[in-house]
Amino acid sequence: MPVSKKEVSPCPIDAMLSVIDGRWKGTILWRLSEGPLRTSELRRSIPDMTERMLIRHLHELVEDGIIIRVQKKTTPQQVRYSISEYGRTLVPVLETICSWGRIHLQHKKL
């Protein structure tokens, strides 16, 4: 009985990974942790990522409550994404992951 990571898994590690796992999610969150950005700004800040993937990841992150989508009523339409209160609790975890990642990249070079 295959159990996808996207399903509710009782394992906390999997629960956490299901949130940040996705080809570009780490990078997206990293960018957003420095401040809110518009869809197109995010898009341009990660050149290899397609718009399709960006939007898919953004919507998943919104669903998980990590980021917030704010549509400004101005004309031209503007959509801004920012890290939520709840999402902020994730940033230190990301930093821990990142610093071990740096060590690991060093480690592999040898």
Chain centre distance of CA 107 = 26
Tell me: does residue 1 bind DNA (CB under 7 A): yes
Residue 2, classed as helix, strand or coil, is: coil
Determine the interface stretch with a copy of itself among 31-39, 67-75, 76-84, 101-109 (rule: CB under 8 A).
101-109
Helix %, strand %, coil % of the chain (to 5): 55, 15, 35
For DNA, what does the binding mask look like between residues 25 and 54, x meaning CB under 7 A?
-------------xxxx------xxxxxx-
Interface ranges with a copy of itself (CB under 8 A): 1, 3, 5, 8, 10-17, 19-21, 23, 26-27, 30, 48, 65, 86, 89-90, 92-94, 96-105, 107-108
